Amino acid sequence: MQELTSQLVQKPSRVIVQDRKTKYTGRNIRWEGVFKRSLVITALSVLVLVVGIFITLVVQSIPSIKALGIGYLTGKTWDPVSDIYGAWPFLLGTLLTSFLALIISIPFSFAIAVYLGEYRPTGWLSGFLKNVVELIAAVPSVIYGFWALVTLVPLVRKLESAIGVAPYGVGIFSASIVLAIMIIPYAASLGRELIQMVPSSLKEGAYSLGGTQYEVIRDVVMPYTKSGMFAGVLLSLGRALGETMAVTMVIGNTSLIPDSIFSPGNTMASVIANEFTEADRAVYLSALIELGLVLFLVTVVINMIGKSIIKRFTHE
Amino acid sequence: MESTIISSSNFNAYFGTNHVVKNVNIEIPKNSVIAVMGPSGCGKTTFLRCINRMHELTPGATSDGKMMLHDDDVYEMHPIFVRLKIGMVFQRPNPFPNLSIYDNVIAGYKLNGLRLSKSEKDRIVEQSLTRSALWNEVKDSLHKKGTFLSGGQQQRLCIARAIAMEPEVLLLDEPTSALDPISTASIEELLYELKSTYTLVIVTHNMQQAARVSNKTAFFYLGELVEYNVTKELFTNPKDSRTQNYITGRFS
Amino acid sequence: MNKLNPRIKYRLGMSKLFHALVIVFAFMIAIPLIAILFFVIKEGITKINWNFLTNIPKPVGEVGGGIANALLGSLIIVLVAAIIAIPIGIFAGIYLSENKNSRLSYWSRLAVDILQGVPSIVIGIVIYFWIVKPSGTFSAISGSMALAVMMLPIIIRSTEETLKLIPFTIKEAGFALGLPYHKVILKVIVPCGFSGILSGAILSVARIAGETAPLLFTAFGNPYLNANVAKPMQSLPLLIFNYATSPYEEWHNLAWGASMILLIWILLLNIITKLITQKWKVQL
């Protein structure tokens, strides 16, 4: 054994190794190019994918745009059986549910953000809250819808008969509540991160002048994070606009213009979900796709604005 | 003994439009330790990184001129080939954090896809760690992660990793600048040992270190190679006033 | 001094009131979650048994039946989606972290941002025109494609963010050993960021496992057991949607059981993601 080791040390395998290295190097050099090219191709494919989505939506919307023109979006009647297509009920339904959901969600997401960001960033209680928020985000939309159908809708129905409106149960109000629950995590976790970015020197300055915790939050933390909070609200609005399943299940699915927040209705997403596979005429189908295009454009614009605000905020 | 292994002629390096190495001509003899010293920002590290073509990895970095390894122009070979022949040790120890000590030593083989038998691997690991004076300290914990070692041990592990590949030249970029004095001493001792097998080029901003470990010393100033001579000669009898100023501490 | 007192008292009172309001509003978020978990578990647990897992749904009016078709379908659809999206996502993420300032990176990043915000129903429409219409049939593979599109931005982002944190010195070490570019990336950089990339991939699966909207016009659903990806296929969320909105008690029962299984599946994936980020983190 001793002999063998000394033999090996005396005669290093340098020549053999160099030879083998040469062989492998040639192969490596060839793969290097392949690898670099495939990286570029995948990065490019993401770009192509998004452009492709946009083009597909535009192309498939053309029959509807041609046949119905700009009046489509303001048309108040949707009656495919009589070949009348007006998207206004769905635009209105989408705006109503989304904004209502937003208004309901803001106090909650704000409270969570302030609690986790300012009052208690660590500890088991905030750990619990963080997990709750994450789970709220993880529950599938369809389960929210099912749950709402079984428990929330009867409650809303009771409320409606108590205040003397037609007790449908399903409708814009129910959809907004479910949506509000679903979008809270987005604004809340973003808000928490923003609040934690407030320099402690600023807060300490305010405390040293005798400010109470509430005053520091109101006069230092809020002004500092204002733009970011707005972006958070925008991003959750983007979520709310495109949310489909839970809304479809509880909004009541009628194509009439809603006359109050308690009436049933339809959003752009829910009407697509309900009628896409039933659309038997080219214009009908195309009209639905045009809704998809509008949805796409609106969410893209909202998301881009929100993200650019956040980028500016985090770079400062 | 005095055969040249690396030589550069009219060598320039740039970062974008910034000219950081200016017209360097140098000949590095085989089996010797060459110290490259100079004040920070003098282009010594950049020049070192040009020898094994690491310089070009930085975005916007370019170079021109000739850099010969024996009779081949390094810049006409594929960089992978160059780096297999010219190893490098960096300023901060950088063992692969996901690999064990054992795997770190043979990383050059393993990651390159060179298959070795178990006994070959064991031999290379033991030999390299012995040469880098780390074997006795780690032989019982070869399968622990390399990042658990102390800074000085990590740096010796990085040296073992480089010499395991049997390079002809080993470049060291201020290998002790992030280490404590005791680790520094053990690495300097190690360089002395390694000289018999390899050619070492060590960048340092520490004059004492240059004087202690090297056979020849090159002094860089503002991107130029000001003076290059046998170490003793350069320190006792500098030809250039800038060298004189530097070694007497008139500027750092 | 006496004059100031009521003012200070008022201010401290406001501060306390605000604190209390924040706590009340913040923790009210737990109410819907607990309600949902309670209902799904209460209704679901009594429905789940061996027959439920191994049988296919029975026609209306017959008692019993199970969701085997949806379980198998969900598994296949999600698995195929992961197989499509994970390699592409990781590669694109590597490109973005490697080429931080290239023009393609700028546009790709913008595309990822856009893709992340695209409503899932819109993706369903587009895949319908890309795959379902040309092939003439709803199919599981088209559903997988739609889900893969939704997974991509999550995987790309998490890969990019993970790899960005790996110090350049580690990469240098790889190059200095004469490793070619692809091996430096795949054998040094990616393993260092393995936990981050893996948890991103699993998280993306968790996010899409419950998606229904993109499957409506792609996988479509199927009351029978089917393992052929070129044919329509049932999935758990689709089954829940169809049966929950039906008027039949028996079908509601199936939907409850399916909801519970779906929920457990997604919670498990979320927990695994967390464990991976905590336990497998490579110390840099």
Confidence of residue A17 (pLDDT cuts 50, 70, 90): low
The mean per-residue pLDDT over the stretch C35-59 comes to 91
**Contact between C98 and A32 (Cβ < 8 Å):** no
Q: Return the pLDDT at A10.
A: 38
Q: Return the pLDDT at C27.
A: 95
Q: Return the pLDDT at C76.
A: 97
Number of Cβ atoms within 10 Å of the Cβ of A219: 12
Put simply, the answer to whether C191 touches B98 (Cβ < 8 Å) is yes
Q: Does B158 touch chain C (CB under 8 A)?
A: yes
SS (H, E, C) A79-99: EHHHCECCCHHHHHHHHHHHH
Put simply, the answer to whether B83 touches C188 (Cβ < 8 Å) is no
Query: Of C25, C149, C186, which is closest to A49 when you measure between CB atoms?
Result: C149
Closest CA–CA distance from residue A34 to any residue of chain B (Å):
16
Average pLDDT over chain A reads: 89
Position A279 pLDDT exceeds 70:
yes
Q: Return the pLDDT at C190.
A: 94
The mean per-residue pLDDT over the stretch B38-49 comes to 90
SS (H, E, C) C175-206: HHCCCCHHHHHHHHHHHHCHHHHHHHHHHHHH
Query: Tens digit of pLDDT for each residue in A178-221?
Result: 999 999 999 999 999 999 999 999 999 999 998 899 999 999 99
Report the C-alpha gap between A190 and A186 in whole angstroms: 6
**Lowest-pLDDT range, A181-185, A197-201, C126-130, C205-209?**
A197-201
Closest CA–CA distance from residue B84 to any residue of chain A (Å):
8
Measured between beta carbons, which residues in chain A are less than 8 angstroms from residue B123? 5, 8
**Lowest-pLDDT range, A21-25, C122-126, C145-149, C177-181?**
A21-25
Q: Does B249 touch chain C (CB under 8 A)?
A: no
Put simply, the answer to whether C178 touches A112 (Cβ < 8 Å) is no
Burial letters for B229-246: b for 16+ Cβ neighbours within 10 Å, e otherwise? Answer: bebeebbeebeeebbeeb
Position B155 pLDDT exceeds 60:
yes
Put simply, the answer to whether A46 touches C108 (Cβ < 8 Å) is yes
Question: Which tokens belong to B198?
Answer: 């390899």
Write down the ipTM of this complex: 0.93
The mean per-residue pLDDT over the stretch C91-98 comes to 96
The residue of chain B nearest to residue C100, with distances taken between CA atoms, is: B59
Q: Return the pLDDT at A23.
A: 66
Put simply, the answer to whether B84 touches A13 (Cβ < 8 Å) is no
Measured between beta carbons, which residues in chain B are less than 8 angstroms from residue C282? 97-98
Position B79 pLDDT exceeds 90:
no
Position B205 pLDDT exceeds 50:
yes
**Contact between C214 and C131 (Cβ < 8 Å):** no
Query: Tens digit of pLDDT for each residue in A214-253?
Result: 999 999 999 999 999 999 999 999 999 999 999 999 999 9
The residue of chain C nearest to residue A270, with distances taken between CA atoms, is: C121
Model confidence, pTM: 0.91
Put simply, the answer to whether A17 touches B112 (Cβ < 8 Å) is no
More confident site: A57 or A18: A57
Q: Return the pLDDT at B113.
A: 82
Closest CA to B26 of B43, B1, B41, B40: B43
Position A20 pLDDT exceeds 80:
no
Query: Of C18, C118, C180, which is closest to A299 when you measure between CB atoms?
Result: C118
Residues 6+ away with beta carbon under 8 Å from B184: B152, B176, B209
Among residues of chain B, what percentage have pLDDT more than 90? Answer: 53
Query: Of C11, C111, C121, which is closest to A46 when you measure between CB atoms?
Result: C111
Closest CA to C205 of C255, C250, C271: C271
Measured between beta carbons, which residues in chain B are less than 8 angstroms from residue C172? 54, 57, 88, 90, 94
Measured between beta carbons, which residues in chain C are less than 8 angstroms from residue B108? 177-179
Each domain of chain A, given as residue ranges in start order, spans 20-68, 72-315
Measured between beta carbons, which residues in chain B are less than 8 angstroms from residue A8? 123
CA dihedral A150, A155, A160, A162 (to 10 degrees): 150
Average pLDDT over chain B reads: 89
Cβ contacts below 8 Å, chain A against chain B, sum to 27
The residue of chain C nearest to residue B112, with distances taken between CA atoms, is: C179
Query: Tens digit of pLDDT for each residue in A61-104?
Result: 999 999 998 889 999 999 999 989 999 999 999 999 999 999 99
Burial of C56 by CB count in 10 Å (0-12 exposed, 13-18 middle, 19+ buried)?
middle
Q: Of A123-132, A186-195, C7-16, C138-147, where does the model show the most confidence?
A: C138-147
Measured between beta carbons, which residues in chain B are less than 8 angstroms from residue C194? 98
Query: Of B114, B123, B127, which is closest to A21 when you measure between CB atoms?
Result: B114
Measured between beta carbons, which residues in chain C are less than 8 angstroms from residue A147? 35-36, 39-40
The residue of chain C nearest to residue A240, with distances taken between CA atoms, is: C119
More confident site: C108 or A22: C108
Among residues of chain A, what percentage have pLDDT more than 90? Answer: 79
Position B130 pLDDT exceeds 50:
yes
**Contact between A143 and A133 (Cβ < 8 Å):** no
Q: Does B69 touch chain C (CB under 8 A)?
A: no
Position A14 pLDDT exceeds 80:
no
Closest CA–CA distance from residue A10 to any residue of chain B (Å):
11
Measured between beta carbons, which residues in chain A are less than 8 angstroms from residue B112? 21, 24, 28
Put simply, the answer to whether A21 touches B78 (Cβ < 8 Å) is no
Position A19 pLDDT exceeds 80:
no
Measured between beta carbons, which residues in chain A are less than 8 angstroms from residue C117? 238, 242, 299-300, 302-303
Query: Of C169, C176, C194, which is closest to B83 when you measure between CB atoms?
Result: C176
Written out in words, the top-level CATH class of the domain with range A72-315 is mainly alpha
Cβ contacts below 8 Å, chain B against chain C, sum to 74
Mutate to test the interface with C, among B45, B94, B168 (most CBs of C within 10 A): B94
Confidence of residue A313 (pLDDT cuts 50, 70, 90): confident
Position B180 pLDDT exceeds 50:
yes
